[in-house]
Amino acid sequence: MSYALSLRCRKCGGEYPLQAQNLCDFCFGPLDVAYDYKAMAASLTRDKIARGPVSMWRYADLLPIAGEPVDLGTGFTPLTRADNLGRLLGLEQLYIKNDCLNPTWSFKDRAVAVAVTKARELGFTTIACASTGNLAASVAAHAVKAGLKSYVFFPSDIEQGKIVSTAIHNPTLVAVQGSYDKVNHLCHRLVEAYGWGFININLRPYYAEGSKTLGYEIAEQLGWRSPDRILAPSASGLLFTRIWKGLNELSMLGLIGPVNTHMHCVQAAGSSPIVNAFENGTLHVLPVEPQTIAKSIAVGNPADGNYALKAARESGGTAASVSDDEIIEGIRLLAETEGIFSEPAGGVVIGALRKMAKSGIIRSQDVTVACITGSGLKTQEIVSDSVRPVTIEPSLQSFESMVCVPNVTAASD
């Protein structure tokens, strides 16, 4: 059952049917899905959600889709207590939301699952996207599942793991010689020229809604409450705004109490237009030229940057950036304390978390959730210098002469 009513302009309130359109014809404001929240509230309960599938589809009533979802099993990823990392940072209630554990190893599966389901409902036979890498793999995989053709466009200098994990699904791969912002600009022109369903352009209102499920899960997994703080990485800024929206919807529907969560938007210092605006106290995000190892979030002109800025301010949160070295340290710290291998976007989160714990922005008792949104298996080259094996002959003697083992006192263990 879908409670989605229409697309509504965020700026002027203009209404449109639930079609493939992302901007208002009158004021060019972004369109969002509008819902019948009254009817939704009357039928939704915590129990009903909890009885649903162990995936993002347990929240199907809160999403703008009518029929069968294109389902790769996305969502309901672990929210794990990070006691080892927390102890190091002096945080007693730290959690990791591990969205590496989605079908194509990033949170993008949430957004894509909804957008591709909608694309199929709307009768598209070809879907496409402008991607920094994770979206590409997700779109290619979902296209296969839905029986659609796909074209994925990405900057030619992204990591090999991102390209291979996309190529394996056999989409038409288009490597564009230019930054993500250039790729995105090209794709806006292709929407007009070809009329395909571009997942993050003309289908953006639906794509945006998929990301809300990350916020829903955090609240449900904490026992139906919103945390004190959430840290999430931002590229276009959309995920950040939708986690915030998700929490506020649950509260409005009476499924959780008031939301007192401080939202912390984190970016790589080499691509931090939202953080710059936050620090300068300006209302508008100004574009930058990205230069960072965190390629998945290297977006210089973020489409939802102003809204992410607003969510950070409105929630009493902050925006913070970390250097490339701090990103790598963050990746290592998470891997060595919690056993989770993140890509650079997660290194940004952990780097920022460490700084904020040190400076006292996050207090030891704060229930804090760090969102790890993509897997390090796709970006292995960044930490490949970790590989320093001791090479030995296949003999006990070689092992004992080459590997330093602490004194063994009993043979029984």
Ligand X SMILES: Cc1ncc(COP(=O)(O)O)c(C=O)c1O
CB of 29 to Zn ion, least distance (A): 4
Q: Is 9 in the site for ligand X (CB under 6 A)?
A: no
User: Cα torsion for 302, 347, 96, 209, to the nearest 10°?
Assistant: 20
409: Cβ–Cβ under 8 A, 6 or more apart, which residues? none
Distances (CA, A) of 275 to 55, 320, 330: 32, 6, 19
Q: Is 179 in the site for ligand X (CB under 6 A)?
A: no
Q: Specify the residue for token string 């330093």.
A: 404
- Of the candidate spans 33-41, 142-150, 166-174, 227-235, the one that interacts with ligand X by CB under 6 A turns out to be 227-235
CB of 379 to ligand X, least distance (A): 9
| β-sheet bridge partners, residue 16 | 7
In the range 281-300, which residues lie near ligand X by CB under 6 A?
Answer: 296-297
Residues, the chain:
413
Nearer to Zn ion, 31 or 96 (CB): 31
* Residue 98 contact, options Zn ion, ligand X, none, Cβ 5-8 Å cut-off depending on partner type: none
* Residue 9 contact, options ligand X, Zn ion, none, Cβ 5-8 Å cut-off depending on partner type: Zn ion
Nearer to ligand X, 60 or 239 (CB): 239
Q: Is 49 in the site for ligand X (CB under 6 A)?
A: no
Nearer to ligand X, 49 or 269 (CB): 269
Q: Specify the residue for token string 């993140």.
A: 342
The single-letter DSSP state of residue 73 is -
Question: How far apart, in whole angstroms, are the C-alpha atoms of residue 183 and residue 48?
Answer: 42
* Residue 179 contact, options ligand X, Zn ion, none, Cβ 5-8 Å cut-off depending on partner type: none
- Amino acid identity at 410: A
| β-sheet bridge partners, residue 328 | none
* Residue 237 contact, options Zn ion, ligand X, none, Cβ 5-8 Å cut-off depending on partner type: ligand X
Binding site for Zn ion (CB under 5 A): 9, 11-12, 14, 24, 26-27, 29
CB of 216 to ligand X, least distance (A): 16
242: Cβ–Cβ under 8 A, 6 or more apart, which residues? 208, 209, 211, 212, 214, 215
In the shown chain, the binding pattern of residues 230 to 269 toward ligand X, with x for contact by CB under 6 A and - for none, equals ---xxxxxxxx-----------------------------
How does strand 94-98 pair with strand 126-130? unpaired
- Residues lying near ligand X in the complex (CB under 6 A) are found at 106, 132, 134-135, 233-240, 296-297, 343, 345, 373-374
